Amino acid sequence: MKFLTLLVLIVSGAAFAVAQERAIDKAKFDAAVNGTDAHKITWAGQSYRIEVTSSAKILGRPESCFQGLCKPDSDHTAKMIIEFGPARTVRSFNTNTFGGKTTSSEILRFGELLYKRENGGPWSVTTKQAAASADDRESADNIWAPPTVLSSDITYFLIGNERFREGTATVFRKVEKTREMDASTGAEFESVSTEVYWIVDGVQRRHELLSQRRSAKLNSNNTVKMEWNLDPSITFAAPEIIDGK
């Protein structure tokens, strides 16, 4: 008898969770989600961490061959951790894996000073302004023309509530289907983008994106997952610079 009662409770709970999900209009979605990612304002003066993981796979790309050895389509994965500490200190650590090769980079910011190193090597130091100028020059050399949107259809959903770490998150989903044309080649492709948002007390704590793109020659799958968490223990010191670098 107890088993039957438990089974009824489980089935009823599952049915309730499914029943919570419903389509909502854009105005309700925007009112609930927009502005929830302003962590620099909402958590100003507090230490917190952002973790981002991403992966990408392109299907249909020609294999690369050398001396009779061929590599299949390569996946790309990346992970980035950004920590915001006290007194305008920021630390970021990035790893990227492509074609079986992994690289890493680390950046520490103390006020206007930026410390950098690649693949665990020695640290170098520069100013925030000098680094920004270098980034501007690199951006100018890599001008990208966005695709032309031929059609778009967006639907919004309220998934319901679920436990998230120390609280309860309200979960929303946005699904966008588009047909686009590459501005440089004229090739058309279709894509489906699904985004899910976990909102806790008006603050976005998790965001997941799944994007699928299809064309006559290439297909691609991309995922990005982001999570924000407070951590008062975050603290770090400026690294030692060797040989005045």
Mean pLDDT for 109-132 is: 84
Range 22-56+73-140+147-237 classified under CATH 1.25.40: no
Residue with tokens 């130091």: 125
pLDDT at 17: 46
Q: Region 184-209: what's the mean pLDDT?
A: 94
Q: Write the single-letter amino acid at 155.
A: T
CA distance 123 to 216: 46
Look up residue 157 and give its two tokens: 């959903």
The pTM assigned to this predicted structure is 0.79
Look at 208 and 100; give whichever has higher pLDDT: 208
Sheet with 219-230, strands from edge to edge, namely: 22-24, 148-164, 167-181, 188-200, 203-215, 219-230, 48-59, 75-84, 89-98, 101-110, 113-118, 124-127
pLDDT at 46: 94
Compute the average pLDDT of residues 47-71: 72
The pLDDT of residue 190 is above 90: yes
